Chains A and B, each alone.
Chain A
Amino acid sequence: MKRNEDLLVIKDLKKHFKINRKETLKAVDGISFTIKKGETLGLVGESGCGKSTVGRTITQIYQPTSGEILFDNENVHAKFSKAELKKKKRDMQMIFQDPYSSLNPRMTVMEIISEGLLIHAPNTSEKEREQQVNELLELVGLNKNHSGRYPHEFSGGQRQRIGIARALAVNPQFIVADEPIAALDVSIQAQIVNLLKTLQEEKGLTYLFIAHDLSMVKYISDRIAVMYLGKIVELTESENLYENPMHPYSEALLSAIPLPDPHLERSRVQILLKDDVPSPIDIPSGCRFHTRCPKAMDVCSKLDPAFVERQPGHFVACHLYDEELMAREK
């Protein structure tokens, strides 16, 4: 397996939900990106920006409205026979946000983790399955003696580990982590991020890591995409985004994170955005960020900026970097 191969290619993906006859919720409105084998792409955005919908469309929980999702050079939403589909599903797994609702309360940990094994390798003996579940439990740092217990007996962080073990049970290549740390305590968040990183190294996994702010994602992502109202506004190497954010929204997101350092907090100037995120049912014209953008120009409300590579590997959708247009404006 070559590391630089693209594992996942997303081309102009759209996912609209019909609310009623008149209104459509444009959760994802034309995004494109690729994820290389063994890479982690962080997908960051505030609530309602469509980041979870992207994850769920990729893992085939939702059917896309239009666009293509190529996984290992094959379109995942093409027609497959049942057996093929089952095999496809095995390669992509998901880790969920809420450690309380993501585990079936009526099943033991053993049953939860072995579910994937039962579905994809129904012929293995019970003993083998038990063996594998125990190995998985050890892998995610849980006590294997607890496999007979029920989810409610575990703490949030431990449940999240069980969810990770369940996803790993079928040996996937690619994992969508949908805000896996958002519901956890600070001290536990770091545990889970470190665990995901170790697993990636050991198993050569590829991640799409979804998060709602920029604070934790850096530690796990190679590249980060920032989403706003259904579109990606900036995509670049993770460290580059923190040092040199180009889109005004990314700047604001970065500056909004309160830092655990009082001296720094006192001295820095925060960029405060006005208002709330507009509703994805009624998306503003032109650049969708212009209603809140501190640097908005006249053209922003009329023209939707293209998503262009402004620096090597650094994609931005903002008129500020369109030299031709800026010259004309002046």
Chain B
Amino acid sequence: MKENILDVENLHVSFKTRNGAITAVRGVSFSLKKGETLAIVGESGSGKSVTAKSIMRLLPKHSTVIPQGEIKFEGRDLLDLPLKDMQKVRGSEISMVFQDPMSSLNPTMKIGKQIMEGLQKHQTLTKSVARQRALEMLELVGIPNAEKRLDAYPHQFSGGMRQRVVIAMALACIPKVLIADEPTTALDVTIQAQILRLMKDLQEKMDTAIVLITHDLGVVANMADKVAVMYAGEVVEYGTLDEIFYETQHPYTLGLLGSMPNLNAKRSEPLIPIPGSPPDLATLGTGCPIAARCPYTMAVCHDYHPRKTELSESHSVLCWLQDSRTPKNHAPETVGSAQ
């Protein structure tokens, strides 16, 4: 068994706003092994991006509070690290790829220089060696004419090529963990397919662990080994890829799967949407946050917060349907403790 490289334990993240504090992440836990891909799935406002940014400590200092939780990277708690040490970790051991490739590149700097900058910050390299490495990285991410392109500016690249450059920058120092925050959301489908394939290939070569933040269950099925489904700041279901897709336990995960289009389905088969809108974190009640949108809501769900049920070593669910007191035939047969 490989060791866990990243362990997030009961992470809470709150933002101070004019109208009081809002807790965007409420007790998130997950772990990641070397070379593994964990997908964090959720809708907008589910706290998935905040989780990613808090691993990198990229949230605004003055308005963010982390009341509890820890983020252990190779045994060290990143939240306790002095800023200077954190800056060493950032980019060299954990790096991040963002949704919009244009805004993560400096428009006035040649891309070769941007890649070299990261390299030289973390490793003592001469200029020519750094340039050589930058060239290798560009070739690795499949940019044609890499030699020439080193001296090009970001605006001379198309969207897909830009995202390749961003990936080259992120992987230049061969980080142990890559956090990819919706890396393909801004791209067209055919380009998305290229980028996903590229990320997979590079992961195999470098044995990087990936935290993939996405809202698209298709991308998850394509990429992930483990999945954390988030809703209103909590991980509602956590398990291996197959457990999430084929042994789905949480009504919300079921809902997400049901509302995804299926290419093999007949046109007349209706989509089953999840009713209602995502919750407002400021006005969340004491019970289960999904109670209002769940088809199997019970009286208990409105007032009592569900607790985590471990179904197997890897699979856990946050739902009252798992409780032994849930009446038979209330939920589909596949869901629940199935006594």
On A, residues with C-beta under 8 Å from B are 46-47, 155-158, 185-191, 193-194, 212-216, 218-219, 221, 238-239, 242, 252-262, 264-265, 270, 272-273, 276-277
Interface of B is mostly: helix
Given the complex of chains A and B, what is the CA–CA distance between A189 and B216 in angstroms?
12
Given the complex of chains A and B, what is the CA–CA distance between A155 and B278 in angstroms?
8
Given the complex of chains A and B, what is the CA–CA distance between A264 and B191 in angstroms?
20
Q: B152 to chain A: which residues have CB within 8 Å?
A: none
Q: By the criterion CB–CB under 8 Å, are A258 and B259 in contact?
A: no
Q: By the criterion CB–CB under 8 Å, are B188 and A242 in contact?
A: no
Q: B44 to chain A: which residues have CB within 8 Å?
A: 156, 185
**Docked complex: B208-239 residues within 8 A CB-CB of A:** 215-222
Q: How far is the CB of A294 from chain B (nearest CB, A)?
A: 12
Interface 9-mer from B87-95, B165-173, B263-271? B263-271
With beta carbons under 8 angstroms apart, the residue of A188, A221, A256 that contacts B190 is A256
Q: By the criterion CB–CB under 8 Å, are A158 and B277 in contact?
A: yes
Nearest-CB residue, chain B, relative to A262: B221
Q: By the criterion CB–CB under 8 Å, are A259 and B218 in contact?
A: yes
**With A157-B277, A276-B160 in contact, is A253–B217 under 8 Å at CB?**
no
Q: By the criterion CB–CB under 8 Å, are A194 and B271 in contact?
A: yes
Q: How far is the CB of A253 from chain B (nearest CB, A)?
A: 6
With beta carbons under 8 angstroms apart, the residue of B158, B222, B242, B255 that contacts A187 is B255
Q: A194 to chain B: which residues have CB within 8 Å?
A: 270-271, 273
Q: How far is the CB of B102 from chain A (nearest CB, A)?
A: 13
**Docked complex: B32-58 residues within 8 A CB-CB of A:** 43-44
Q: By the criterion CB–CB under 8 Å, are A277 and B188 in contact?
A: yes
B30 within 8 A of A: no
B331 within 8 A of A: no
B274 within 8 A of A: yes
Given the complex of chains A and B, what is the CA–CA distance between A276 and B161 in angstroms?
8
Given the complex of chains A and B, what is the CA–CA distance between A193 and B272 in angstroms?
10
Given the complex of chains A and B, what is the CA–CA distance between A148 and B159 in angstroms?
41
B196 within 8 A of A: yes
Given the complex of chains A and B, what is the CA–CA distance between A215 and B270 in angstroms?
14
Nearest-CB residue, chain B, relative to A213: B189
With beta carbons under 8 angstroms apart, the residue of A187, A238, A272 that contacts B259 is A187
Given the complex of chains A and B, what is the CA–CA distance between A216 and B197 in angstroms?
23
B15 within 8 A of A: no
Q: How far is the CB of B160 from chain A (nearest CB, A)?
A: 5
B324 within 8 A of A: no
The 4 closest A-B CB pairs, nearest first, are A258-B218, A190-B273, A187-B274, A190-B259
Given the complex of chains A and B, what is the CA–CA distance between A259 and B263 in angstroms?
8
With beta carbons under 8 angstroms apart, the residue of B189, B216, B219, B278 that contacts A46 is B189
What would be 24 A-B contacts, judged by CB atoms less than 8 Å apart?
A155-B277, A185-B43, A186-B260, A187-B259, A188-B43, A190-B258, A190-B272, A213-B189, A214-B189, A215-B263, A219-B270, A221-B267, A238-B267, A242-B264, A254-B263, A256-B189, A258-B192, A259-B221, A259-B262, A260-B221, A261-B245, A265-B218, A272-B194, A276-B158
Given the complex of chains A and B, what is the CA–CA distance between A239 and B263 in angstroms?
10
Nearest-CB residue, chain A, relative to B142: A274
Q: By the criterion CB–CB under 8 Å, are A212 and B188 in contact?
A: yes
Given the complex of chains A and B, what is the CA–CA distance between A327 and B194 in angstroms?
34
With beta carbons under 8 angstroms apart, the residue of A215, A221, A258 that contacts B222 is A258
Q: By the criterion CB–CB under 8 Å, are A260 and B218 in contact?
A: yes
With beta carbons under 8 angstroms apart, the residue of B218, B246, B275, B278 that contacts A257 is B218
Q: How far is the CB of B44 from chain A (nearest CB, A)?
A: 6
Q: B255 to chain A: which residues have CB within 8 Å?
A: 187
Q: By the criterion CB–CB under 8 Å, are A258 and B219 in contact?
A: yes
B332 within 8 A of A: no
B287 within 8 A of A: no
With beta carbons under 8 angstroms apart, the residue of B161, B193, B217, B258 that contacts A270 is B193
With beta carbons under 8 angstroms apart, the residue of A188, A214, A215, A265 that contacts B273 is A188
**With A47-B188, A185-B44, A186-B260 in contact, is A256–B270 under 8 Å at CB?**
no
